[in-house]
Structure 1
Amino acid sequence: MTKTVEERYQEAKTRYAEIGVDTEAALKKLQEVKISMHCWQGDDVKGFLNPEGELTGGIMATGDYPGAAHTPDQLRQDMEKALALIPGKHKINLHAIYLDTDEAIDLDEIEPKHFEKWAKWANEQGVGLDFNPTFFSHPMMKDGMTLAHPDKAVRDYWIEHGKRSRKIAEYLGKETGQTCINNFWMPDGMKDNPIDRYTPRKRMMESLDEIFEEDLNETYTQEAVESKLFGLGAEAYTVGSHEFYMGYGLTRDKLICLDAGHFHPTEVISNKLSSLALFSKGIMLHVSRPVRWDSDHVVIMDDELQEIGKEIVRNDLLDKTNIGLDFFDATINRIAAWVVGTRNTQKALLKAMLEPTNELKQIELENDYTKRMALTEELKDFPYADVWNYFCEQNDAPVGMNWYEEVMNYERDILSTRDKELATAK
């Protein structure tokens, strides 16, 4: 006779209790975690600033899977579907290019009113909103530079965009009643070896200082700065390196954003969390998956994702860490990408919450490395999936692969019609 989700959970609960783990406490803790699900997976990072949806450089998704969102309403519809398949209440991460307005405006003209529909929708869905100014895919990104460009007119354009983005983030925080994390990432860099690495960084620092000159209420918005090792067209030199933004964040009282794909191929962000937690105001994560480079693949349950979860939970950093996603894959169903990536991030946290952390720390303190290895290896065989399935059921989210059928039905009924409708409209 097949056991129910409840029965399997009760068995798992008993087994975990034998090693001193309270599954009910773990589930309560997981229920409080909000993952910031990024909007740009749904339309391949095109946004709605340019009606033609053409990127002008700085970022790019690959693939042509049918059904991408072409309007804000379609994108919200798709995210509603994804959120319904993910247990818990979360946040949505917006970029500035995802404004919802009939006005023809540029990035240095955006205002809170251009995001009113997003705020209203978020409140209807019971989700929070995060934000990002968009310093890419725009003609004013000149010579691979924005805030670090030697031309003051270029810098002034992007400074104005940054200032306006701060006001929008503040507005979104006020409207939703949840602090809006506003994350700043600039792709400024050079393709080949520069002579002067110092001066562009000085210009970047001064530009950011001008953007952040006005104090905003941190109840409504907090700001993060995000580094990167290299990018397409900036293979030799990136102005906003890890060292630059670690220094900037620590001295300017900003959150420091770590993106899983923004470092050397053998370098991981999990090992940086404990160090930054000691000195920084807080941390913003962009949970992604690099494949040989910052390729932003959909998050899978790999070793690094689990290590990120362990570092956050073992060191009690949930209150100090804002967890967001950053990947975009246009070769697969975009809603499925959201669901897989978000649920995996939650699973990684749950697995860490189901460890006997205090006992493991005591074993380590006593230099009993044999038992440390034996117990951590044994934990890999514990039935965390039965606890996860129970969590899904308690949140009215599909258990196991049941979500996949819903996504395929949505693709058949909704997504498959979009490209035809767009072609007819043109």
Structure 2
Amino acid sequence: MQIRLSAHCRTGVLVLTVALAACSHDKKSEQKKIQSVSVQTVKTVPYAQSVSLPGRTTSYLTSPVTPQVTGVIQKRLFTEGGVVRAGQVLYQIDPAPYQAAYDADKADLEKAQAALLSAKPIAERDRSLAAIDAISKETLEEAEATLKQDEATIDADKAALESARINLGYTRVVAPVTGTISASAYTPGALVTADQTTPLATIYSYDPMYLDVTQSSTDVLALRKKLADGSVKTDANGNAQVKITLEDGTTYAHEGTLQFAGVGVDPTTGTITLRVIVPNPEKLLLPGEYLHAVVEQGIDQNAILVPQQSVTHDQRGNATALIVDAQNKVEQRSLTLAGTADNNEWVVTNGLADGDRVVVAGSQYASVGDTVNPVPVADGAAATSDAAPAMATAAASSAASATAPAAAASN
């Protein structure tokens, strides 16, 4: 059976619908006005300042092993990948031709020395005879010239013999430094030359290691000032001491020393390359690893730290945060950050002051200019969890109000 409502009844239903909608709107407005947000009151605290500089490790020494003479390798006398000592024989090049050259030069020297033994008394005798005019002046000059020539021949033969001795010694290729040696690029039987560019092997010294890091020229200047005023921890030589963070995030057992090795600013990046010397007795560090050098820069007695979740970044990358003012209204602040602390907090250098209340949770339910109910961060979890059910309740009431006229009309 179809039910028709009179005009009077239809007017009443319309009024009821409008009233319910207005009530729902009032409830939403009321819910928005009483929205609770979790806040943390800013307090200045002592904070140990530090800067983390990323970089890669390089060997303290890298020494290529190259032949100094030409010849055939007879033996390889080391274990690839092992530790070798400075002066240790690594390769033996066939010494036979160099031994023969040494023996020949030695014989030439002995021959020249024998000639000198004969020329010296002749020259002395001719000097005595020339003093009494027993011989001509030309005869004396010839004898002295022969003596000087024999002496010069001896000097030349000595130099040739020394060169032959050096070349003979070069047939024993020794390690120039102590370190870990790479795989050999040549095997016994291979011909090597004195002027080749390819090394036979390469020796790396891993203790200590270099860590090359980069820092902006502005930050380097600030660090130098902190070193000058004594706020940065230094060693006995006045070099800044640094802690090393490994690739897995753990702290390395040994502290390094920061060396200001940069001699200029990179014009494209505005950075300076600095060098850290890191002890590596356990050989834990290897060349090419990506590490961080953490430089402690003193203690700021009035530092401001805020939770990371309370800070957002706009489209330009600027840091911002929501603040609840004395009238419980929400405002937005622009912040200047100086990095992160160890407990997931931002270090704020500008934009906040002692006593400011920063929104740490519930900011999605509040906009700039809204009046809110600030709940201290200790109760923030409850405030945040209660906010969503409250909005859900308001939405449910609105939905119920919207369906009421339809139900009335169907009746």
TM-score w.r.t. the length of structure 1 is 0.16
Q: Which has the higher contact order (CA 8 A, sep 6+)?
A: 2
TM-score w.r.t. the length of structure 2 is 0.17
More strand by share: 2
Rg larger for = 2
More helix by share: 1
